[in-house]
With several copies, the nearest count.
Chain A
Amino acid sequence: MPPEHLLRRAAREILPGQIVNLGIGLPTQLMAYLAPDADVLIHSENGVLGCGPQATAAEADPRLIDAGGAYIRTRTGASFFDSAVSFAIVRRGRLDLSVMGAFEVDALGNLANWKIPGRFSPGIGGAMELAQKTPRVLVLCTHNDKAGRSKVRRRCTLPLTAERCVSRIITDKAVLDVTAEGLVLREIAAGLTVEALRRDTEAELLIDREPEEF
C-alpha cells in the first residue's frame, strides 16, 4: 500500500472542531490531506496554532516554520505564542489529538519514538509531553521496519516516550485500537489476509468483528 493510502486513512481521524498536533515525519504529511477549509487548528510546538500547508519559496517567510523546520503558511484564526504557552496548551490537555510516529508501540499503548540507545539519541524534543498529556494519541507508522521487524509489539524494548498513552495505531497494514484487553484489529489493508498480518505482527491481535478493508 502506498503511503498515500495510509495518510488518506489517517486524515479521517481528524474531526471538525479539533486542535491537533502533527509530529515530524509521516504525521506532518497529513497536512496535505486536510481540506483547505477543514474546521481544524493544527498546533506546532514551536509556537503556532493554525498551521497551514507548506509554503512555496515565493510564499515562505523565514520567521515562520513548523517544528520540523519546514516553511509553512497559516490558516484563518491562527495565533503565535511563546514556547511556555505552547506547552501549556499541551500539558493542560487542550489538544484533542496528537499524531505521532513510532519506533515501537505495544499492546499496552506504550510508545517508544525518541531514542535507540547507542544509535540515535538526539533528545526528546516535545514528544514526551505530547504523548503523556494529549487525551487521544494516534500512532502513524509503517507496520514493519526496513529489516521486516514488527513495530507493533507485545512490549516495547526501547526507552519509552510515555506509558499507556496510545489510543489507536494506523500502519500501512492495519488500524488497531488499544483496549484494556489488548490490540483490537479494526481495519486491514486491502488485499492482506489476517493470517499474513499476524505473521507480520509481534503483538497479539484481537478480533471482535470482521475487520473492514481500507
Chain B
Amino acid sequence: MDKYREKAAAIARIGDGATIMVGGFGSPGTPFGLLAELERQGQRDLTIIKNDANEAGIGVSRLIEAGQVRRLITSHIGLNKRVVALMNSGELAVDFHPQGILAEKIRCAGAGCLAFLSDIGLHSEITDPGDVIEWRGRPAKVEAALTADFALLHAERADSVGNLCYRATARNFSPLMAMAADCVIVEAAGQVPAGSIDPDQVHTPGAFVDAVTDADLSDPAYGLMEGRYAP
C-alpha cells in the first residue's frame, strides 16, 4: 500500500473546473509546494475552499492572482488586500462562512452526512431565509455539507500507508479536508516508513489519503515571515 507519488503526476489528476480544498490557516499548513505545481500546470476555473486567501504573493493568492480561480469559499480574507480588490471588482466570486461553520461543513461531508442544523448567525444577514427550517418548535439553519474533488494538504510526517501527523497550528482544517475530499493529495516534510508512527498518535488515518508527495521546505514560504514576531 505504497501511496508515495511524484508531485507533478499527483497534481496532474486535477482538471479544469475542479473544486479543491486547501489546508492551512494563514501560512501554517498551507501546501505551498502542491500549490506551486498547480500554478505551473495552469488548471483553470477552479473553486478553492480554504480558511483564508493566504497573503498576497503566496499560496492560494498566487493562483487567484494568476486568474486560475473562479470562486473562493472561505472564512476571512482580511490579510490579503489583492484578493479583497479582486472580490470587489467582481473578478473573483467569494462565499464567506463563519470559520467554525466552514470547518463543520467540511467535516460533515467527511462524516458522510448531508447537512447539519445550527443556530449560528440564524437571525443575521449571513443567513438566507431559504435555509431556515422549523425543527422541534424553533428555527434552525440547515448548513449543507461541503465536499470537494481534491484536497491539497501539508503534513509534518507521512508514512507509506498515508498515515499523517501535523504539527502545532499547521493542523487546522487539514484532518477535516482529508475526510471530505474525493481525492486527497498530501505533501509531507518527512516521509517515514510504515510502522514508525505510533498508532495512537496518527492524526489522519491512511484510509483518507490517496497520494503522498515530498515537500521541499527550502521554499521561503515555509519560513518565518517578517514583522510577525516580537522585537
Contacts and interface: CB of A to CB of B under 8 A. Distances in A.
Whether A and B touch (Cβ < 8 Å) is answered with yes
Interface of A: 17, 19, 39-41, 43-50, 53-57, 59-67, 69-71, 74, 76-95, 122-129, 132-133, 159-163
Given A60-B224, A77-B1, A82 B176 contact: yes
Contacts of A79: 163, 197, 199, 202, 205-206
B74 interface: yes
B163 A77 contact: yes
Nearest to B72: A123
Smallest CB-CB A-B distances: 3 pairs: A87-B100, A91-B112, A122-B78
B169 A80 contact: yes
Interface string B107-124: 101111100000111011
A47 B171 contact: yes
A176 to B, nearest CB: 24
Interface residues of B, number: 74
Given A77-B195, A94-B208, A128-B120, A70 B169 contact: no
Given A55-B229, A82-B174, A123 B112 contact: no
Interface string B49-84: 001000000000000000000000011111100001
10 contacts: A41-B161, A48-B169, A61-B168, A62-B224, A83-B51, A83-B172, A84-B111, A88-B112, A128-B98, A132-B119
A61 to B, nearest CB: 6
B9 interface: no
Interface of B is mostly: loop
Contact of B98 (A56, A85, A129): A129
Given A55-B230, A82-B175, A88-B179, A126 B100 contact: yes
B143 interface: no
Interface string B186-223: 00000000110101101101111000000000000011
B194 A122 contact: no
Interface of B: 1, 25-29, 51, 74-79, 84, 94, 96-104, 106-107, 109-113, 119-121, 123-126, 156, 159-161, 163, 167-176, 179-180, 194-195, 197, 199-200, 202-203, 205-208, 222-225, 228-231
Contacts of B199: 48, 50, 74, 78-80
Contacts of A91: 100, 111-113, 120
B169 A84 contact: no
B104 A65 contact: no
A63 B208 CA distance: 23
A138 B99 CA distance: 20
A65 B172 CA distance: 11
A92 B121 contact: no
Contacts of B94: 123
Nearest to A61: B168
B207 A71 contact: no
Contacts of A19: 207
A207 to B, nearest CB: 32
Contacts of B231: 56
A125 B52 CA distance: 9
B27 A65 contact: yes
